[in-house]
Homo-oligomer: A and B are copies of this chain.
Amino acid sequence: MTAVRPVCVIGLGLIGGSVLRAAGAAGREVWGATAAEADVEAARADGFTVESTVDEALVRAGAAGALVVVAVPLPAVDGVLRRVAELAPDCMLTDVVSVKAPVLAAVRRMLPRTRYAGGHPMAGAAVSGWPAGSATLFDGASWAVTVEPDTDLAVWREVAELALDGGARVVPATAAEHDAAVARISHLPHVLAAVLAATGADGGPLALTLAAGSFADGTRVAGSRAELVLAMCEGNLNPLLAAVDDALGRLGVARGALASTGSLRATVTSGNAGRAALQAHRTGERIPTKVDLTGPRVHEELAAVGRRGGWITGFQADMALAELPFPMATPGT
């Protein structure tokens, strides 16, 4: 283990603010900066160090050898990376943006020599801003940490340690695999929730009176702040298109079956199976395993842990401690 590295968080909204708190609660030296004046005041009022400008925070990061965490929406990432390139080019770098391939591409383009591993904690998007965050937001959550064939494993481990500080499960994945997965389980749910909310409301006041649990649950994330949803969905264009096409195909099949045979059995059965797979994945037996971080195929081995439905729970000397689902518990392995 190295000495505990300081953490500099750029962007202090729900996620960035929670990273700052969690890292601080784990005993690290932490500071941040944000362009959102309200979040500056709120974070300072809670006793955290917020530098006056992003530049000042990055200069300090460069001097302290801090891990820099980019926690701004995707459209603002390039601007922050430009400042990192100038003021903290040797710092280890991660981010918490909800899509990973575009950030990876931006880092490669703008900071070709920076040591980077992307991150994505899977935690709430329906509320935003510093006051909505907490040190325990990531407790028990999955936190993807990207691993490419050329990822510096020392950086990967530092980013994973940050996630573990927050109580998260570290899920190794390539940026491309991450983006394809979240298109299905995070971005498509937002699109379908929007479609359902609009279709339901078009039923008029009687429909809204009769709306109960299924409609309330199915439309909850349609109440998320539009700018956050748009940044996330539009930033994952091609994977989301593939997921939407899959859903369109399934919905079309349901429509056809209902119209021609009056039956929705295939649709409902496949939905039952999908939901059962989620439950089995969450509650199924887990098998502990290890990945040797000095091994010759370690990058591929880490990615395989995520691909097989596993995660990293900690480190021991040069080993990453992992948990894998019991082979029969999930389909598609």
Which residues from chain A sit less than 8 Å from chain B, CB to CB? 122-126, 141-142, 144, 169, 171, 173, 177-178, 180-182, 184-186, 188-223, 226, 229-230, 233-234, 237, 240-241, 243-248, 250-252, 254-255, 258-259, 262-265, 267-279, 281-282, 306-311, 325, 330-333
List chain B residues, Cβ under 8 A from A186. Answer: 210-212, 214-215
Contact indicator B210/A264 (Cβ below 8 Å):
no
Contact indicator A215/B273 (Cβ below 8 Å):
no
List chain B residues, Cβ under 8 A from A333. Answer: 204-205
Please give 9 more A-B residue pairs, beta carbons under 8 A apart, in addition to A171-B209, A204-B309, A234-B263: A184-B200, A194-B274, A195-B267, A197-B275, A197-B278, A201-B274, A206-B306, A229-B268, A248-B252
Closest to A254 in B: B191
Contact indicator A188/B208 (Cβ below 8 Å):
no
- One of B193, B215, B273, B308 near A214 (C-beta < 8 A): B193
Closest to A123 in B: B212
Contact indicator B230/A264 (Cβ below 8 Å):
yes
How long is the Cα–Cα vector from A309 to B271 in the complex, in angstroms?
A: 32
Query: Top 8 A-B pairs ranked by shortest CB distance?
Result: A194-B271, A205-B309, A197-B274, A201-B274, A222-B271, A189-B214, A184-B203, A181-B207
Contact indicator A271/B193 (Cβ below 8 Å):
yes
**Minimal beta-carbon separation of A144 from chain B (angstroms):** 6
**Minimal beta-carbon separation of A308 from chain B (angstroms):** 6
How long is the Cα–Cα vector from A169 to B271 in the complex, in angstroms?
A: 32
List chain B residues, Cβ under 8 A from A267. Answer: 191, 194-195, 198
How long is the Cα–Cα vector from A173 to B203 in the complex, in angstroms?
A: 13
Specify how many copies of this chain sit in the oligomer. Answer: 2
Contact indicator B210/A181 (Cβ below 8 Å):
yes
List chain B residues, Cβ under 8 A from A204. Answer: 181, 307, 309, 330, 332-333
List chain B residues, Cβ under 8 A from A193. Answer: 214, 218, 271, 275
Contact indicator B211/A307 (Cβ below 8 Å):
no
Contact indicator A332/B251 (Cβ below 8 Å):
no
Contact A207 B222, CB 8 Å, known A197-B271, A258-B244, A264-B233? no
Q: List 29 A-B contacts (CB under 8 A).
A: A142-B212, A181-B204, A181-B210, A182-B207, A184-B202, A184-B203, A185-B210, A185-B214, A186-B210, A186-B212, A189-B218, A193-B218, A193-B271, A193-B275, A195-B251, A195-B267, A197-B273, A198-B274, A199-B243, A199-B247, A201-B331, A204-B309, A205-B308, A209-B311, A213-B220, A213-B221, A219-B271, A241-B255, A248-B252
